[in-house]
Amino acid sequence: MGKKSGSEPKLSKDVYESELFRLQTELVAMQEWVRDTGARVVVLFEGRDAAGKGGAIKRITEFLSPRICRVSALPAPTDRERGQWYYQRYVEHLPTKGEIVLFDRSWYNRAGVEKVMGFCTPEEHTRFLRQTPIFEQMLIDEGIMLRKYWFSVSNEEQLRRFRSRRDDPVRQWKLSPMDLESVFRWEDYSRAKDEMMVHTDTSTSPWFVVESDHKRNARLNMISHLLSTVPYEHIERPRVKLPKTPIETGNYHRPPRSLSRFVPDHVANIIGDTER
């Protein structure tokens, strides 16, 4: 069975939000360094369903430019993609100079869900384990900074999060039949993960495990570690001089409001309801 949850100390909300903002400020500094130096960064987020990958990605990207840092969350492969070299559809999403790409699940699908659910043959799985260290070394030799994170959640906490999703109308879409199947195949996924680690945790492309039963702890730990592994420097920017307010010449006359279509004032209705 999975590890017991609750072994980590919990942070207060105030401490968490303060430290998260500090780290997010550093992420912006890292982004500016990536843009200026032309660095290429790839971060893989792997782990069981509901392990906290999406939440970590959301906090990382919150203040970053989508033109520099983008998320790749690929759907199931198409028939055409199934006929291609396995890594091909992922290669298309690798960064160019000055970009950061966060993979919300990656080529490691073959080591996890495809292996457990029988979506690939044993031969394809074996070939993946053999070829992936070579593939990743090619990326590193090309100059890409590759970081791999495994979000580790206990079976008790995973099930608790599934129940929470089931009862939450804005998060029910996150709960899929595949998620439910993973509950019954917990040990199968554990064995697949262990085998994956044996073959793909290398000295040049190591796995870093994030204890994720406590989401706040996991986010801070993961972001802090990522920042510590990228040799970014703070880029000094000249202070922007804002222009003065334009001079009104009297040559412009705004059209009447009646000519524009404004959205209804929904907020006014809310305020009116609360004041009744």
Q: For the chain, which residues make up each domain, given as ranges?
A: 13-229
Residue 126 is predicted with a pLDDT of 99
Rounded distance between C-alpha atoms, residue 137 and residue 185, angstroms:
32
Strands 144-152 and 207-211: parallel
Count of CB atoms within 10 A of residue 119's CB? 15
Rounded distance between C-alpha atoms, residue 117 and residue 177, angstroms:
12
The answer to whether the beta carbons of residues 230 and 26 sit under 8 Å apart is no
Residue 2 is predicted with a pLDDT of 45
- SS3 sequence, the chain? CCCCCCCCCCCCHHHHHHHHHHHHHHHHHHHHHHHHHCCEEEEEEEECCCCCHHHHHHHHHCCCCCCCEEEECCCCCCHHHHCCCCCHHHHCCCCCCCEEEEEECCHHHHCCHHHHHCCCCHHHHHHHHHHHHHHHHHHHHCCEEEEEEEEECCHHHHHHHHHHHHCCCCCHHHCCHHHHHHHHCHHHHHHHHHHHHHHHCCCCCCEEEEECCCHHHHHHHHHHHHHHHCCCCCCCCCCCCCCCCCCCCCCCCCCCHHHCCCCCCHHHHHHHHHHC
Rounded distance between C-alpha atoms, residue 236 and residue 234, angstroms:
6
Considering only CA atoms, give the Rg of the chain: 23
Structure tokens at 24: 């997010």
Residue 59 is predicted with a pLDDT of 99
Residue 53 is predicted with a pLDDT of 98
Structure tokens at 108: 């490691």
Tell whether domain 13-229 is in CATH 3.40.50.300.
yes
Mind listing the pLDDT tens digit of every residue in the chain (276 residues)?
A: 444 444 567 899 999 999 999 999 999 999 999 999 999 999 999 999 999 999 999 999 999 999 999 999 999 999 999 999 999 999 999 999 999 999 999 999 999 999 999 999 999 999 999 999 999 999 999 999 999 999 999 999 999 999 999 988 988 888 888 888 888 999 999 999 999 999 999 999 999 999 999 999 999 999 999 999 999 999 998 999 988 888 888 889 999 999 999 999 999 999 977 766
- Residue recorded with tokens 């703070």: 234
Residues 6+ apart with CB under 8 A from 27: 60, 63, 64, 223, 227
Global pTM?
Answer: 0.90
Structure tokens at 135: 């593939």
